[in-house]
Amino acid sequence: MRARRDPSRSACASADHALASSLLLIGAMKALGKPGVVTITIAVAVLLLGGTCVATYNKLVRLDQAADAQWAQVENAYQRRADLVPNLVETVKGAAAFERETITAVTEARSRVGQLAVPKNVTNNAESFQQYQEAQDQLGGALSRLLVVAEAYPDLKATQNFRDLQAQLEGTENRIAVERMRYNETARDFETARASFPTMIVAGIFGGRFQEKQYFAAKAGSDVPPKVKF
């Protein structure tokens, strides 16, 4: 028959082990002396601080790359819209030849978007970001007016090519809104981490690497539908 283990003996053994470990630690500290203890303490502190800095830096890199990746999705959606414009304009010209002002506005806005030089760090550059958004908003506004004008032409609305282009354009506009929203979310996550303590210290040390992200803002008057008089 197996003997039962005495709990009191186990507790005493654990206490003895803890006491022995403490005595060994004290003995080691005495052997090292005060300078040695100070040196070890500093070394441990440096290692902990270094580990924290590395982890924080990697976190900022991850959030920064996530924002950049989402920005690329925004650009893809905008490019998709720009690619639809030439076919849409040509289709409308055939049925609404005298709506020159509206068609010209779309063509010129599309041209400005294509000619805009977008720097690599556009998300960190307030001026370039604003110029980019304004150019895209102008094209979006011109396209909205063109589609409203098209409502006055039943023959145009009945054209299969126009209906297909209109559906693609509407889908692209929805995608643009979604990608912009997602970009703003990733930019917000980056900015929240960047402004938090102690992450802000690491961000400050590498200030040129982790610059402030810009946000998309709603276009002024975007809640008011365009007015077109026939």
**Is position 128 within any domain?**
yes
Q: Which residues of the chain are under the pLDDT cut of 50? A: 1, 222-223, 225-226, 228-230
Dig out the tokens for 22 from the structure.
């403490």
For residue 40, give the amino acid letter.
Answer: I
Q: Is residue 211 part of a domain?
A: no
Domain containing 141 equals 67-205
Residues 6+ apart with CB under 8 A from 188: 215
CB atoms within 10 A of CB 75: 15
Please tell me the total count of domains within the chain: 1
C-alpha dihedral, 17 to 21 to 22 to 28, nearest 10°: 160
Which residues, including other chains, have CB under 8 Å from residue 161's CB and lie 6 or more apart?
Answer: 87, 91
The pLDDT assigned to 79 comes to 96
Residue 225's pLDDT is 47
- In a domain, residue 49? The reply is no
The answer to whether residue 108 sits within a structural domain is yes
For 121-165, the pLDDT digits (tens) are: 999 999 999 999 999 999 999 999 999 888 888 888 888 889 999
Q: Collapse the DSSP code of 3 into the 3-class scheme (helix H, G, I; strand E, B; otherwise coil) and give the result.
A: coil
DSSP run (H or E) holding 132: helix 126-150
Please report how many Cα atoms fall inside a 13 Å half-sphere around the Cα of residue 48, on the Cβ side: 6
Contacts of 163 (CB under 8 A, 6+ apart): 157
**42 domain residue, yes or no:** no
- At 105, which CATH number? 1.20.1440.20
3-state SS record for 56-98: HHHHHHHHHHHHHHHHHHHHHHHHHHHHHHHHHHHHHHHHCCC
Q: Tell me if 188 is assigned to some domain.
A: yes
pTM: 0.75
> Is 89 among the domain residues?
yes
**Residue 190 located in a structural domain:** yes
pLDDT of residue 177: 95
Q: Smallest Cα–Cα separation from 86: which of 9, 143, 47? A: 143
pLDDT at residue 93, rounded to an integer: 83
